[in-house]
Amino acid sequence: MTFHKLFSIYHKKHGFMANKSFLPKIIDKVIVPPIKCQGIKTQLVNFISKSIYWDAGGRWIEPFLGSGVVLFSIQPDKALVSDTNKHIIKLYQAVQSGDVDEYNVRLFLEDYGSKLSQYGKDFYYSVREDFNETGDSLKFLFLNRSCFNGLMRFNSKARYNVPFGHKPNRFSKSYITRIVNQIARVGEIIQDRDWVFQAAKWQDVLKEAKSEDFVYLDPPYIGRYSDYFSPWSEGEAIDLAKTCRSLPCGFALSMWYENKYRRNDHIHRYWPGLIQRTCSHYYHVGSKESLRNEMLEALLIRPEYAANSPEPPFD
């Protein structure tokens, strides 16, 4: 019996082979990104990385990058990542090019943090107004770390509209150092890898997928308040499910499964035939208290890319 035949049998039985796969793996240290947004996967990185089988023969593709915590923690050698939020992409492109680094971030936050402490909400709203005209990445970072509860929200005119977080003394020396360290660590990771950051729609990005790639999907959650940057409707969510059926590669989708109020019927209606894993966790970022509670999170995986998967696909 050939080695490839033996490997195929082992893969089918165990879902992965430790010395042949990039995933699954345990992430010893989750990389906390310098920006925050609702639905951030900081608590779920290991749940995701342990559930997927992928040999990293191609690119890791994320059409809904968000904060970037999954990308920065899993750290594939090659990646194509995008978001419709051009400000997130612009910030990470600036980190990649070196235009934004730990030195100018420290100087900027020390300056703006001092002015916030002195002038309070009036200064915050003046920076917000200026950012909406210029799109400056450092001001985007400042607003994200001084706004209400770390929200990421834009109105229908693509203008940042999150209110002040009511903490004028937010930028202590230790807080600034924490953000600076996050920028530095993300910069180190990006520089060592072949990553492409794009401001693009998910439809365009998925057209680039090849058979050796793996697509990780973390779209706005259907059935929950998800006013993030661009509108997300049930119709678009259904289109995403249909498109993924024809992908030439493996994929996994993060989606809420249920909370104490209700269950997400969208999963069973539009994502059948996949391996389903669930994990309970707590959301700390949200505009309302009702959105900051315990949630059962689902990871839906194309069957042949699910690690250690004895269970059959759900109907």
- The predicted-structure confidence for 57-73, as pLDDT tens digits, reads as follows 999 999 999 999 999 99
pLDDT at 156 over 80: yes
Q: Residue 218 falls within a domain, yes or no?
A: yes
Please name the residues in contact with 269: beta carbons below 8 A apart, sequence gap of 6 or more: none
State the pLDDT at residue 310: 56
State the pLDDT at residue 287: 46
Residue that finishes a domain, picked among 181, 216, 241: 181
pLDDT in tens, 1-43: 333 333 444 444 444 444 468 999 999 999 999 999 988 899 9
Residue positions counted in the chain? 315
Confidence label for 308 from pLDDT (cuts 50, 70 and 90): confident
Q: Is the peptide bond before 24 cis (omega within 30 degrees of 0)?
A: yes
State the pLDDT at residue 21: 84
Domains in the chain, number: 2
Same domain, 162 and 71: no
Closest CA to 178 of 30, 28, 38, 33: 33
CATH of the domain at 110: 1.10.1020.10
pLDDT at 117 over 90: yes
Helix (H) or strand (E) holding 103: helix 102-119
Q: State whether the Cα torsion 53-59-60-64 is positive or negative.
A: negative
CB-CB contact of 100 with 137 (8 Å):
yes
State the pLDDT at residue 40: 87
Q: Residue 94 falls within a domain, yes or no?
A: no
Please name the residues in contact with 104: beta carbons below 8 A apart, sequence gap of 6 or more: 138
What mean pLDDT, rounded, does the chain reach? 89
Mean pLDDT of 293-298: 86
Q: Residue 97 falls within a domain, yes or no?
A: no
Mean pLDDT of 51-55: 97
Same domain, 111 and 61: no
Bridge partners, residue 300, by sequence: 253, 276
What is the Cα–Cα distance from 265 to 221, expressed in whole angstroms? 12
Greatest alpha-carbon span in the chain? 75
Same domain, 73 and 206: yes
pLDDT in tens, 185-207: 999 999 989 999 999 999 999 99
What is the Cα–Cα distance from 280 to 262, expressed in whole angstroms? 14
Same domain, 212 and 171: no
Please name the residues in contact with 4: beta carbons below 8 A apart, sequence gap of 6 or more: none
pLDDT at 284 over 50: yes
What is the number of other CB atoms lying within 10 angstroms of the CB of residue 28? 7
State the pLDDT at residue 227: 53
Same domain, 299 and 234: yes
Q: Residue 278 falls within a domain, yes or no?
A: yes
State the pLDDT at residue 292: 54
Closest CA to 104 of 130, 137, 80: 137
Q: Residue 259 falls within a domain, yes or no?
A: yes
Same domain, 35 and 69: yes
State the pLDDT at residue 283: 60
Same domain, 132 and 176: yes
Same domain, 125 and 254: no
Mean pLDDT of 34-56: 94
For 66, 76, 89, 295, the CA distances from 199, given in Å and listed in that order, are: 11, 20, 6, 29
pLDDT at 282 over 80: no
What is the Cα–Cα distance from 102 to 108, expressed in whole angstroms? 10
Residue that finishes a domain, picked among 181, 211, 237: 181
Domain region containing 134: 102-181
Same domain, 44 and 18: yes
CATH of the domain at 21: 3.40.50.150
More confident: 142 or 13? 142
Q: Following DSSP, what letter does each residue of 129-177 receive, concatenated? A: HHHHHH--HHHHHHHHHHBGGG---B-TTS-B-PPB-S-TT---HHHHH
- Which amino acid, 252? A
- Residue at token pair 């920006």: 35
State the pLDDT at residue 313: 75
Q: Residue 164 falls within a domain, yes or no?
A: yes
What is the Cα–Cα distance from 210 to 18, expressed in whole angstroms? 24
> What is the percentage of the chain residues whose pLDDT exceeds 90?
77
Q: Residue 90 falls within a domain, yes or no?
A: no
Same domain, 208 and 240: yes
CB-CB contact of 65 with 82 (8 Å):
yes
Most confident of 95-104, 227-236, 280-289: 95-104
Confidence label for 291 from pLDDT (cuts 50, 70 and 90): low
Q: Which of 114-123, 170-179, 293-302 has the lowest mean pLDDT?
A: 293-302
pLDDT in tens, 224-262: 545 556 668 899 999 999 999 999 999 999 999 998 888
State the pLDDT at residue 300: 98
Q: Is 6 helix (H, G, I), strand (E, B) or coil?
A: helix
CB-CB contact of 47 with 299 (8 Å):
yes
Please name the residues in contact with 28: beta carbons below 8 A apart, sequence gap of 6 or more: none
What tokens does 9 get? 């049998």
Q: Residue 283 falls within a domain, yes or no?
A: yes
Same domain, 139 and 222: no
Same domain, 169 and 258: no
Residue that finishes a domain, picked among 125, 147, 181: 181
State the pLDDT at residue 247: 98
